[in-house]
Amino acid sequence: MIAATTSRPAVIDLSEIRISNRRRFWRAFRRNRVALLGLILVILICLSAIFADVLAPYDPIEPHYTARLQAPSAEFPLGSDELGRDLLSRLLYGARISLVIGFVAQSVAITTGIIIGMISGWYGGLIDDLLMRIADVFFAIPGLMFLIVWVTIFDPNPVSIFLALGLISWPSNARMMRSQVLHLKELDYVLAARSLGASTPRILIQHILPNAIAPMIVLASLGVAGVILSESILSFLGLGIQIPTPSWGTMVNSSRGYITTAWWYGVFPGLIIMLTVLGFNFLGDGLRDALQPNQYNK
């Protein structure tokens, strides 16, 4: 007699799959030298902002009237402004303002976009049409004009600025999340969860959101660069962070009258803005390629 054998189904170890995915992501990311450069730039700028108290040689708002518009030297490594304030110290403290506004504004935009996108994509129909028409209205509003009107009505403090930047940035995040939900809700594991009686919030949070978050991370990293640039433009126009609080855009604006006599005054703040925007853009592109290699690395 032949002994009967029972075959057991293979058990899938989800922890091993997650570890494998993380290794694949890091392997793809570290091969992208431009992405690594962006990561290094972002880390350096963030560390400079965090440790500004330690790194700054002077108080950023303390004037030194006897050292007005001094060229870069051992005393003032990046020179001084029209009031004798140290540019290096103001740039370090200005990084705090720019990064806080960038991260908080993107948190508002991403959170709003995820919620609206999930509701729109999941329910569809009239709800989808209404929410997407609202998004179209925001898309039709010129961003800079909206920001100028906003800071004219409200005080141009950091809170009002990051709220305005978050409100004008959510539609693209909502459309991205909506497209992800429309695709994911038709997959077998979501249909199985629905057939087993799982509630809508549980399906959205436990099954759809984790699988739709990758492109949102990419959008967030790219969006931080856009928010920092927008805040710098507002400050350059005199509608952003107000004097004497150090801000990169305000420093560029103040340097306009000294272009021919103090080149360092506008060059170094402009260079920092450029490096910060490039760093976040490079990082976002690298995250996109590493998280979705089949789509972007053909």
Instruction: Output the pLDDT for position 18.
Output: 54
CB atoms within 10 A of CB 149: 13
| Nearest CA-CA partner of 286 in 45, 36, 110 | 36
| Nearest CA-CA partner of 241 in 224, 258, 222, 254 | 254
CB atoms within 10 A of CB 208: 23
> Does some domain include residue 290?
yes
Task: Identify whether the C-beta of residue 211 lies closer than 8 Å to the C-beta of residue 181.
Answer: no
Name 86's bridge partners: 80
Instruction: Output the pLDDT for position 44.
Output: 93
Task: Identify whether the C-beta of residue 204 lies closer than 8 Å to the C-beta of residue 211.
Answer: no
Q: CA-CA distances (angstroms) from residue 195 to 46, 201, 234?
A: 47, 15, 51
> Does some domain include residue 6?
no
> Does some domain include residue 43?
no
Instruction: Output the pLDDT for position 1.
Output: 44
Name 80's bridge partners: 86
pTM for the model stands at: 0.78
Instruction: Output the pLDDT for position 298.
Output: 42
Sign of the Cα pseudo-torsion (245, 248, 249, 253, in order)? positive
Task: Identify whether the C-beta of residue 278 lies closer than 8 Å to the C-beta of residue 226.
Answer: no
Upper half-sphere CA count for residue 70 (Cβ side, 13 Å): 21
Backbone angles phi, psi at 219, to 5 degrees: -60, -40
> Does some domain include residue 40?
no
State the total domains in the chain: 1
Helices 14-30 and 263-291 meet at what angle, rounded to 10? 140
> Does some domain include residue 76?
no
Residues in the chain where the model's pLDDT stays below 50: 1-7, 9-14, 295-298
Instruction: Output the pLDDT for position 43.
Output: 93
> Does some domain include residue 264?
yes
Q: What is the rounded distance in angstroms from the CA atom of residue 224 to the CA atom of residue 108?
A: 11
Residue 86: strand, helix, or coil: strand
Q: What is the rounded distance in angstroms from the CA atom of residue 133 to the CA atom of residue 84?
A: 52
Q: CA-CA distances (angstroms) from residue 93 to 52, 232, 288?
A: 6, 14, 31
Range of the domain at 103: 84-296
pLDDT of 33-43, one tens digit each?
888 898 999 99
Instruction: Output the pLDDT for position 12.
Output: 44
Instruction: Output the pLDDT for position 297.
Output: 44
> Does some domain include residue 15?
no
Instruction: Output the pLDDT for position 19.
Output: 58
Report the C-alpha dihedral over residues 116, 120, 122, 126, rounded to 10 degrees: 150
> Does some domain include residue 46?
no
Please give the single-letter amino acid code of residue 187: L
Residues 6+ apart with CB under 8 A from 60: 85, 86, 89, 90, 92, 93, 94, 246
Any idea what the CATH number is for the domain that residue 227 is in? Answer: 1.10.3720.10
Instruction: Output the pLDDT for position 40.
Output: 92
Cα-to-chain-centroid distance, residue 284: 9
